[in-house]
Amino acid sequence: MSYNLLKGKKGIIFGALDENSIAWKTAERAYDEGAEFVLTNAPIAMRMGGIKDLAAQTNSKLIPADATSMDDLNNLVEKSMEILGGTLDFVLHSIGMSVNVRKGKHYTDPKYDFTTKGWDVSAVSFHKTMNVLYNKQAMNEWGSIVALTYMAAQRVFPDYNDMADNKAYLESIARSFGYFFGRDHKVRVNTISQSPTPTTAGSGVKGFEGFLAYAEKMSPLGNATALECADYTISLFSDLTKKVTLQNLFHDGGFSNMGVSDAVMDRFTEA
């Protein structure tokens, strides 16, 4: 269902790789709600994925950008404003990657070059993106910037590896940069802490299926899907949430406030 919540709004959406991606669903929902936007992803992901289909479907342009490259980000923001005919109302950072996870390195014995790379891609890229948006004065007043995160930033999930540390850093950047963006440009900055979701990034976590099933059984409302995450993101881009900023917002069916559920206890009390 569409409510025209983003009618007349312009933005940039990072991170749509395939139709399972949270960013993909968000682009579809943003289009439904009347937004115009540019889609971006790392050049290699653009060559591999079906993002061109998404661009055609949402009537949007594609601009490749490695989110760790200031040159790419400067080019992306300048070109986006040209294409969209002005400054922006919303930006979605939906980017995550750990080289240690990909290469099967254990948390207790990572390769630190991999740690640095994953931290740059997954966390510092958010600072770099906001640096460019802030210094180019690319955001409209009452604009909204959202990044996606996971609860391993607060609690221990052993197989989430160094992504836990990257997410903690990402959430801190949202608060710290969000202060300056709010004070100087009336722009809000938040992170959404999403349930485990079957996407390329999510499924890369060791034991993901078990993780998904456990979270489902622990959450009174069940896991939040990628589409539901997209809906929540749209609400944060809309004018209905203008004074929400510097927050880490849990979108997880209640998981983050649970101790234990009947469904999980039943598994341990079975005869």
Residues that bind ligand NAD (CB under 6 A): 14-15, 17, 21-23, 41-42, 45, 66-68, 94-97, 121, 148-150, 194, 196-197, 199-202
The least CB distance from residue 23 to ligand NAD, in Å, is: 6
Which 8-state DSSP code applies to residue 123? I
Record the tokens describing residue 202, joined without a space.
């999510």
Q: Which long-range contacts (CB under 8 A, 24 or more apart) does 95-98 make?
A: 95/14, 95/15, 95/67, 95/121, 95/122, 95/125, 95/126, 96/121, 96/122, 96/148, 96/163, 96/166, 96/201, 97/121, 97/122, 97/201, 98/122, 98/161, 98/162, 98/163, 98/166, 98/204
Q: Are 163 and 96 within 8 A, CB to CB? A: yes
The least CB distance from residue 64 to ligand NAD, in Å, is: 9
Which of residues 197 and 245 has its CB atom nearest to ligand NAD in the complex? 197
What is the Cα–Cα distance from 24 to 15, expressed in whole angstroms? 8
The least CB distance from residue 117 to ligand NAD, in Å, is: 9
User: What is the rounded (10 degree) CA torsion for 244, 246, 251, 254?
Assistant: -100
The least CB distance from residue 225 to ligand NAD, in Å, is: 11
Which of residues 72 and 185 has its CB atom nearest to ligand NAD in the complex? 72
- In the complex, which residue's CB is closest to ligand NAD? 202
The least CB distance from residue 70 to ligand NAD, in Å, is: 12
Which of residues 88 and 147 has its CB atom nearest to ligand NAD in the complex? 147
Which of residues 21 and 115 has its CB atom nearest to ligand NAD in the complex? 21
Which of residues 181 and 255 has its CB atom nearest to ligand NAD in the complex? 255
Which of residues 48 and 260 has its CB atom nearest to ligand NAD in the complex? 48
> Quick check: helix, strand or coil at residue 242?
coil
The least CB distance from residue 197 to ligand NAD, in Å, is: 4
Q: Which amino acid is at 175?
A: R
What is the Cα–Cα distance from 203 to 249, expressed in whole angstroms? 22
Record the tokens describing residue 235, joined without a space.
């609400």
Record the tokens describing residue 166, joined without a space.
């990257």
